[in-house]
């Protein structure tokens, strides 16, 4: 691929990522949440209680970041953290009633953000985007693993 084409592609991905994250921050701020915290809440809403290591793997986020997020969400009353019954070194994270309510609100915001993001695209294109973006992510992940990253 020549530089101009590569630059256009990389810039488009970079700008989308930055602007999507900024818009996410705008939408989450009234809920007292920061980007990344919504993913943790949504994962717990999907799966139920999980150990922090499982959340780290599911979300693709480093364990210390999960610990910090869970502590902040616990302080806000959205999650409860307890020692795992079978491994006292592990911590189980679960939604509280308040956390379930905010997760429901996040789901509404997530739908609105997705609709904003794909506005004007044909339905068939929108339907194919998760697989396409998943392939791009897999390509980058595979290269990072081979490079030791």
Q: What is the mean pLDDT of the chain?
A: 94
Question: Taken in order 36, 38, 44, 46, is the CA torsion positive or negative?
Answer: negative
Residue 81: its pLDDT value, please? 96
**Is the Cβ–Cβ distance between 55 and 73 less than 8 Å?**
no
What does the pLDDT look like over 26-43, one tens digit per residue? Answer: 999 999 999 999 999 999
Residue-wise DSSP of 97-122: HHHHHHHHHHHHHHHHHHHHHHTTS-
Residue 149: its pLDDT value, please? 55
Confidence of residue 144 (pLDDT cuts 50, 70, 90): low
What does the pLDDT look like over 48-90, one tens digit per residue? Answer: 999 999 999 999 999 999 999 999 999 999 999 999 988 888 9
**Is the Cβ–Cβ distance between 41 and 73 less than 8 Å?**
yes
Q: Which residues pair with 125 in a beta bridge?
A: none
């Amino acid at each position: 691929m020549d530089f101009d084409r590569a630059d256009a592609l990389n810039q488009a991905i970079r700008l989308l990522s930055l602007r999507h994250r900024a818009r996410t921050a705008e939408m989450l701020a009234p809920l007292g949440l920061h980007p990344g915290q919504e993913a943790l809440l949504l994962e717990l809403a999907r799966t139920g209680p999980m150990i922090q290591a499982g959340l780290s793997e599911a979300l693709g986020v480093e364990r210390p970041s999960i610990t910090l997020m869970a502590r902040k969400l616990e302080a806000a009353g959205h999650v409860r953290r307890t020692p795992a019954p079978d491994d006292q070194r592990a911590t189980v994270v679960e939604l509280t009633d308040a956390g379930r309510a905010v997760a429901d609100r996040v789901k509404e915001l997530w739908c609105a953000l997705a609709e904003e993001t794909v506005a004007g695209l044909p339905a068939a294109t929108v339907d194919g985007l998760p697989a396409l973006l998943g392939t791009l992510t897999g390509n980058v992940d595979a290269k990072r693993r081979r490079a030791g990253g």
